[in-house]
Amino acid sequence: MRLACVFNPFKYKLHEENLKIVQRYFGLFPPLSLAWVCAIAQRAGHDALIIDARTLRLTKEDVLDRLKEWKPDILGFMMTTYMFRETLEWVKFLKKNLKIPVIIGGYNLRVYPTESVSVDGPDFGCFNSAYETVPRLFAELEGQRRFQDVPGLIYKENGQVKMTPYARDPDFNEYPNPARHLLPNELYAEFTTERKNFTVMVTSKGCPYGCLFCEAGHTSYNPRSPETVVNEIQECYKKYNIREIDFFDYDFCVDRKRTEAICDGIIKSGLNVSWACRTRVDYVDETLLRQMKAAGCSRIYFGLESGIQEILDLLNKGINLRQIREAIEATKGAGIRPLGFFLVGSPGETKETFRKTLKFAKSLKLDYVQFSKLTAKPLTPYWQQMVENTGFDYWREYILGNIKERPLPRPWTSLTNEEIDQMTKKAYIIYHCRPMFLLHHTLQVKSWSEFQRKLFALTEMIFRQEKVSTMDENFIAYPENKAKVLSYKEKYKQGIPL
Ligand code: B12
Ligand code: SF4
């Protein structure tokens, strides 16, 4: 079988938790889920192609031309809840013109498996891992078409949507490394990127904690072994010239022994690679941080959420303000840049509590901050409560196309959505426009490109804010990419492998 996976550009949505300006500068990331799916398909002997239309700024028509040439047997798309309708437009357009089946997978299929496939466009859905489903489905498509025997599959039969059971969640170590050879690795970067090439890795799934705003809470922890992780880092370094990695695990440091072993492995391998990760403040201490620094860790993103203890408790965060302060100081002391994620509009939040949170954030001397509007995201306890209390599931109706996108209500706070928006915007400006913060950042900038990116972001944040375009695909946050994008586009047009 020939599988072509398409990663479509996506625009800002009103139901998002972040401000438009933050989304715009967030960065260009490799479509990792699709790279896993393609690696799994290739290992089973199939051909695979990824078209990252977002990064390459390709239109639907550009992608269609390339696909007509490559002649896939099946198309693959990754579906998130937030961008479902937009990706569905791409599914429908390409399917109508190519007349081949489409398989979808990704997080939204865990939330709404049958609904996702019931709509016009997709033929098949993979609601768990592609690990078993894709090779088994492809064998059936080439053979008897006994779809009922494929584990973890959703399919349509006589106008009905059917779903088969999923046998097991495979050991994450058994996955091949993501198929980065199918990606334009030179073009990726995030707002904070200091070195290139840059990539994203996921080395564990799940999180044992239970914060009420988070969909990862109490999901089974499935880590890759330190050897597997170091092997993937080596592959990134040697094959793709990757020098900076952001580990997108929900929590990189859940298992201290694993973190230490990964750090040891990187140090022993002698690779000069910088990396960032996300973790909890109660998982780190001076000893671990020093080891992480020695292994190349340059940034840590901590979920700090609030500067008010009662709010942290209501969120079931399981940390206190002293732990936050100590962890940030220890991180800075180890020479690693700390970033703090904060929530706006938490339960019990008022203008006064948020003023205190902002003051707390400033006192921590973080290198970066992100203020997100607390939103009832699918599969979170707040979402469950909202559906139970109102009998209305916004996300389900949205993906089915029954309603238009809109900001969600936040019944756990007396603040209105408009007030939460205003507070979030103001927080960014107040936090970033402090003379000492600006001076510190300017002195730390490592390249002209990084300086330009940060200057543009600051100027837009102060003067334009939400007026910035929703068409994020029209924007290249990394000026040096312009020429490279054109050369990659040309390669795609001519069908030259990357
Ligand atoms: C890396 C990442 C990104 C990258 C790359 C996109 C990608 N997913 O490849 C970037 C930064 C671009 C990104 C963007 C976004 N992301 Co994202 N992302 C992730 C992250 C951290 C890791 C994905 C991953 O590789 N996991 C490991 C692999 C092994 O698991 P997996 O992704 O589930 O894939 C397996 C199966 O799901 C299945 N599968 C997945 N896709 C497909 C496709 C096909 C055809 C098939 C057959 C099977 C299949 O097979 C895979 C292998 O077994 C996840 C969180 C997480 N830890 O999983 C969030 C996550 C998927 N993203 C999320 C969100 C919200 C977004 C954005 C909307 C953010 C934004 N506002 O911009 C965008 C939307 C992009 C889009 N086009 O829709 C949410 C989705 C929630 C939801 N309800 O849908 C998650 C769960 C994070 C979160 N906690 O909120 N993301
Ligand atoms: S916020 Fe972090 S610690 Fe809390 S449940 Fe989510 S991933 Fe786990």
Q: What residue ranges define each of the domains in the chain, with the CATH number in brackets?
A: 2-18+30-163 (3.40.50.280), 172-483 (3.80.30.20)
202 Cβ inside 6 Å of ligand 1:
yes
214 Cβ inside 6 Å of ligand 2:
yes
**Rounded distance from Cα 348 to ligand 1 centre (Å):** 31
State the ligand closest to the CA atom of 104.
1
Q: What is the distance, to the nearest Å, from the Cα of residue 422 to the centroid of all Cα atoms in its chain?
A: 25
Residue type, 200: V
From 17, 207, 278, 279, the mutation candidate for ligand 2 (largest count of ligand atoms within 8 A of CB) is: 207
Structure-token match 């479902």, residue found: 84
126 Cβ inside 6 Å of ligand 1:
yes
Residue identifier of the C-alpha nearest atom 7 of ligand 2: 250
303 Cβ inside 6 Å of ligand 2:
yes
| Stretch (H or E) spanning 425 | helix 417-432
pLDDT for the residue numbered 473: 47
Residue identifier of the C-alpha nearest atom 4 of ligand 2: 211
State the ligand closest to the CA atom of 248.
1
For residues 340 and 328, give the distance between their C-alpha atoms in angstroms, rounded to a whole number.
9
pLDDT for the residue numbered 474: 46
Tokens of 346: 């938490």
CB contact burial 326-362 (16+ within 10 A = b; e otherwise): bbbebbbebebbbbbebbbbbbebeeebbeebbebbb
User: Nearest-CA neighbor of 82 among 333, 326, 375?
Assistant: 375
Residue identifier of the C-alpha nearest atom 5 of ligand 2: 217
Tens-digit pLDDT string for the chain (498 aa): 999 999 999 988 999 999 888 877 888 999 999 999 999 999 999 999 999 999 998 999 999 999 999 999 999 999 999 999 999 999 999 999 999 999 999 999 999 999 999 999 999 999 999 999 999 999 999 999 999 999 999 999 999 999 999 977 789 999 999 999 999 999 998 888 888 899 999 999 999 999 999 999 999 999 999 999 999 999 999 999 999 999 999 999 999 999 999 999 999 999 999 999 999 999 999 999 999 999 999 999 999 999 999 999 999 999 999 999 999 999 999 999 999 999 999 999 999 999 999 999 999 989 989 999 999 999 999 999 999 999 999 999 999 999 999 999 999 999 999 999 999 999 999 998 888 888 888 888 878 877 877 887 777 777 766 665 555 544 555 666 777 777 777 777 777 766
Helix, strand and coil percent figures for the chain, each rounded to 5: 45, 15, 35
Residue identifier of the C-alpha nearest atom 6 of ligand 2: 214
For residues 179 and 41, give the distance between their C-alpha atoms in angstroms, rounded to a whole number.
10
289: which residues sit within 8 A by CB, 6+ positions away?
297, 330, 331, 333, 334, 336
Q: Which atom of ligand 1 is nearest to the CA of 27?
A: 11
| Interaxial angle between packed helices 417-432 and 448-463, expressed in degrees from 0 to 180 and rounded to the nearest 10 | 140
323, 284 in Cβ contact below 8 A? Answer: no
From 280, 302, 346, the mutation candidate for ligand 2 (largest count of ligand atoms within 8 A of CB) is: 280
**Rounded distance from Cα 95 to ligand 1 centre (Å):** 22
**Rounded distance from Cα 80 to ligand 1 centre (Å):** 7
User: Nearest-CA neighbor of 310 among 324, 321, 323, 322?
Assistant: 321
3-state DSSP assignment of residue 46: coil
pLDDT for the residue numbered 96: 98
For residues 27 and 356, give the distance between their C-alpha atoms in angstroms, rounded to a whole number.
30
374 Cβ inside 6 Å of ligand 2:
no
